[in-house]
Structure 1
Amino acid sequence: MFTGKLALVLHAHLPYVRSANPGSLEEDWFFQALFECYLPILKVLEKSLQEKDETPKITISLSPTLLSLLDDKDLKARFPDWLKDRLNLLNYIDKERQIASDYLDKYINNQLSDWESCEGNLIQRFSQLQKYNVVDLLTCAATHGYLPLLRENIECVKAQLSTAVKEHFRFFGVKPKGIWLPECAYYEGLDKLMLECGLRYSILDGHGLLHANPRPRYGIYAPICSSNGVAFFGRDSDSTLPVWSSREGYPGDKNYREFHRDLGWDLPQKILKKIGIKDSRPLGLKLHKVTSRNTSLTEKKFYDPKLAAEKAKEHAKNYLQDRHIQLKRLNQEIDQEPILVAPFDAELFGHWWFEGPIFLAEIFKQAKEENIFFTNLNDILRSTSKLQLCEPCPSSWGQGGFHKYWLNESNSWLISEWSKAGKAMVNRCSNGVEKEYEIRILQQAARELLLSQSSDWSFILKAGTTTDLAKKRIYKHLDRFWTLINALDREDNPSDLKLKEFELEDSIFPLIQAKDWCKI
């Protein structure tokens, strides 16, 4: 008999797309994530709680920007029509495809029914799961800013953290104890700022612990504690690679749904325009399976949901058996209970890998057979009496393991823009303002600065996908920031109408406090 537990960690995040026009590509990002990921994951957890003797456990981070989107009345009102538009599109496909689309018709209707039954209140459902200790909810930096690249103005890093804590408390009524650091990116001294904001634990990529000083006795299989009193967990690549890798892992199986072929590309534009979609783009409507890696998109075979579900069940069993073998081996090598920490982007489960929620449901269902027990990060710390004192190594979970993906020839120009704007914000906030109108201007400037710092835009610039959209977002928020900051230095403040326009469009973080940017 061996001991040990598995801690699954899901990071749920989207950039703030509230200001996008209805029907925009950015709004599609959010609605597709709702449709394919967040609703299915909630249903898996709720069903597992109802059906199992032992409570399923998982750690989930919900970024402040995502929470703002989930809470937005306009977006919630538009989502059902978005689903119905996709149901309507299924009426325009030919008979051959119609057979393959039956599962999709049923799937969309199920999601629509689930949404309507809770009146779109997903935040309340996450909160309930936390009360049952199914979910340990973490926060994230306010706008997913890549913190090591903001450190020149340390106040900007602290404002990302403190704003996130306020938002989490606003939605859940409790302050978060843990945080998902954006891109798992860490630098020396960040733990001190985390502690000052009441954040006591986080996750790093494996080398963030393995290269810690001193090297942890138990490697990545036990949390460590920094000298500033913050605990860190390390990612176990053996527990994550089979799930996230499309080449070496489960998602690339020939029976699973093909991600890249979508009806949004297959249907003629005249049909798309009938329901108000102006141009060809992914719609979340996919009827084909992977088939093989070498098969071109045009030659993909039709998807069989029953066969895919069976394969997900097999893969869940295989995953648990491998964790069984891994834990059994670790019991022979270390003298305390090992913990396997497996962090993933939540969107992997359902959006990138359509069968991901089925896989999750199956590992919860089959775990007891394989003697695998789940835990969450908070429970681990509560049950651990002593942690080894180590200083984590600067790191990220991005390509190369450090900061290269967010600091390269495609996006390095952003650093000086953030630095200049951050310095102006710190100076202005440190000098203070007295008039109520000026406080409003400064608060909105803070929102625009935070929104410009989102690591999503840096990622897109490097990936080379929707780069024009990313640049437009960055410039818009920075231009608004400077308009507001410069107005405070002049007598001709911007008209109230202009300020209201910014406040209405970028209405995130109602509890924001400009004093968070005061010099430390």
Structure 2
Amino acid sequence: MFSLVLHSHLPWLANHGRWPVGEEWLYQSWAGSYLPLTEMLSRLAGEGRTNLLSLGITPVLAAQLDDPHCLAGMHHWLGNWQLRAHEATDRDMSVREHRAASAALGNFETHWRHGGSAVLRGLVDSDAIELLGGPLAHPFQPLLDPRLREFSLAEGLSDAQMRWGTRPTGIWAPECAYAPGMEIGYAAAGVSHFMVDGPALRGDTSAGRTVRDSEVVAFGRDLKVSYRVWSPKSGYPGHSAYRDFHTYDHATGLKHARVTGRTVDSADKAPYDPDLASAAIDRHVADFVESVRSRLREESSRIGRPALVVAAFDTELFGHWWFEGPVWLERVLRALPEAGIDVGTLDDARTRGYVGAPVELQESSWGSGKDWRVWAGDAVADLVSLNSEVVALALDTIDKSRRNAAERPELRNRINDQILRETLMAVSSDWAFMVSKDSAAGYARQRAHVHAHALREIADAVDRGHETEAARLAAQWNRADGLFPALDARRLRGDRSYEGER
């Protein structure tokens, strides 16, 4: 059996800059990946195809796809794309980009103007996909205080229930990060399966594995197959016929060239040729199908029973980074069954018995070295320290507030809600990743410190007993960062002393 898993995620970008890093990142990914991907899946679902893939949507991305500010910004961005197409001096590029922009604008205005939840819920209700959830704001869970880790996961799964009418039982843990004991929290939250990278299972990804003494199943990414598409050094998107991601027409910002060659300067890139790209897609579809077939036979022979192959990728690879990716995906999803390969979701694999012996899973991630160095290494020691500080301050402030009000019924406290919201934003795994990879590191550090500052301001007012000022500050910061409106600090498990008093 073959399972395709896509992980869709961007940090919260609304109201935090536009260019070169900020909302532009969201709108490019939305236009390049989310629109064509959901359109393709809807088309396959309309043909009666089911259980096509497992699709992870992080709560923080889901919030942006439903956010009125982001929806208005996306509509404006699509209109601007169409105008830029009109301004292009290259006729072929102008016509091609105008058609693409017009189609995207029509898709958005027809299906997306009131938010992404309805689009995704249709795919869930038609059984086209298995929806994978995750914790709020994408924290690196192994380094997170257990109470906040528990709260973030439970709230994230509830957020999915609110948006899509279903509470996911599978998750893509942020960064595929795991620490021993996390399976206990997963089981308590109703999670039955989650993703890890292949090396976490010592390369044996031919079946899911129950973790330690739990019934929670870890599925591993098959690197041999996944790296055919995308690896740290190679993969299909680098083929000479595909559109080059890094080369722009400076007058319009549109991409007009093909890769041509890895050592070819941007000024010398050949013009993009859609027919040439389409032929390359067909070759890479055939190569991928044969790779899956070969791997299934190899692994089934090795273990003496039908094997599972899981290929997993960031959704944004398809369309945003690799322009031809969505077309390749659709052709692959059609070609695999035609080749006699059984395709299903991770939940299908679990319920159909593609589960092996328990594994004593160790600390791991899907980052460099497959350990925690990207999120806990020397390069981000300052962020690790900042995260510890803000989490301790947030929990201490909320615990004191709740103890002081212990004699009264606990009512909704918008101050505590915003404290948790800013804390979760501050400890997002994205900031450490961007610093470690030197990808907009300044923006990442600035974002972490902005949320830490917001938390400190609110907590300081609470500590001084200035409730009115604290409420004003919480409301002010909420205008910029008001995602997860259902977040409720009352659901944060109390500290031991508080629990004893209650």
TM range (shorter): over 0.9
Of 99, 107, 116 in structure 2, the residue corresponding to residue 106 of structure 1 is: 99
Of 363, 373, 377 in structure 2, the residue corresponding to residue 408 of structure 1 is: 377
TM-score, normalisation: structure 2: 0.92
Going from structure 1 to structure 2, the CA distance change for 1:318 and 1:78 (only over 3 Å counts) comes to: same
1:201 aligns with 2:193: yes
- What secondary structure does 2:257 align onto? coil
Task: State the alpha-carbon separation in 1 of the partners of residues 270 and 433 from structure 2.
Answer: 32
Task: State the alpha-carbon separation in 1 of the partners of residues 18 and 444 from structure 2.
Answer: 18
What does residue 306 of structure 1 align with?
275
Task: State the alpha-carbon separation in 2 of the partners of residues 23 and 380 from structure 1.
Answer: 42
| C-alpha deviation, 1:245, in angstroms | 3.1
What does residue 280 of structure 1 align with?
none
What does residue 477 of structure 1 align with?
451
The equivalences for 1:183-262 within 5 A come to: 183-210=175-202, 219-226=204-211, 227-245=213-231, 247-262=233-248
| C-alpha deviation, 1:389, in angstroms | 2.0
- What residue identity is the alignment partner of 1:195? A
| C-alpha deviation, 1:408, in angstroms | 2.4
| C-alpha deviation, 1:93, in angstroms | 2.8
Going from structure 1 to structure 2, the CA distance change for 1:225 and 1:77 (only over 3 Å counts) comes to: same
What does residue 393 of structure 1 align with?
362
| C-alpha deviation, 1:104, in angstroms | 1.7
Number of residue-to-residue matches in the alignment: 487
What does residue 131 of structure 1 align with?
125
CA contact (8 A) 1:70 1:76 kept: yes
CA contact (8 A) 2:21 2:443 kept: no
What does residue 15 of structure 2 align with?
19
- What residue identity is the alignment partner of 1:107? A
Of 299, 318, 325 in structure 2, the residue corresponding to residue 349 of structure 1 is: 318
1:369 aligns with 2:338: yes
CA RMSD of aligned residues (A): 2.1
What does residue 440 of structure 1 align with?
414
| C-alpha deviation, 1:167, in angstroms | 1.0
Task: State the alpha-carbon separation in 1 of the partners of residues 450 and 247 from structure 2.
Answer: 32
What does residue 82 of structure 1 align with?
77
Task: State the alpha-carbon separation in 1 of the partners of residues 243 and 311 from structure 2.
Answer: 23
What does residue 175 of structure 1 align with?
167
Query: Can you list the C-alpha shifts for 1:175-217, whole angstroms capped at 9, x where unaligned?
Result: 2101111111111111111122221210101121128xxxxxx
What does residue 287 of structure 1 align with?
256
What does residue 214 of structure 1 align with?
none
Going from structure 1 to structure 2, the CA distance change for 1:416 and 1:518 (only over 3 Å counts) comes to: farther
- What secondary structure does 2:313 align onto? strand
CA contact (8 A) 2:208 2:355 kept: no
| C-alpha deviation, 1:391, in angstroms | 2.1
Which segments of 5 or more consecutive residues in structure 2 lack a partner in the other structure?
Answer: 497-502
1:502 aligns with 2:495: no
Going from structure 1 to structure 2, the CA distance change for 1:488 and 1:437 (only over 3 Å counts) comes to: farther
CA contact (8 A) 2:308 2:354 kept: no
- What residue identity is the alignment partner of 2:82? L
What does residue 430 of structure 2 align with?
456
Task: State the alpha-carbon separation in 1 of the partners of residues 472 and 147 from structure 2.
Answer: 30
What does residue 35 of structure 2 align with?
39
Which segments of 5 or more consecutive residues in structure 1 lack a partner in the other structure?
Answer: 212-218, 273-282
Q: Which has the higher contact order (CA 8 A, sep 6+)?
A: 1
- What residue identity is the alignment partner of 2:246? H
Of 61, 66, 75 in structure 1, the residue corresponding to residue 56 of structure 2 is: 61
- The answer to which of 99-108 and 354-363 deviates more is 99-108
CA contact (8 A) 1:100 1:302 kept: no
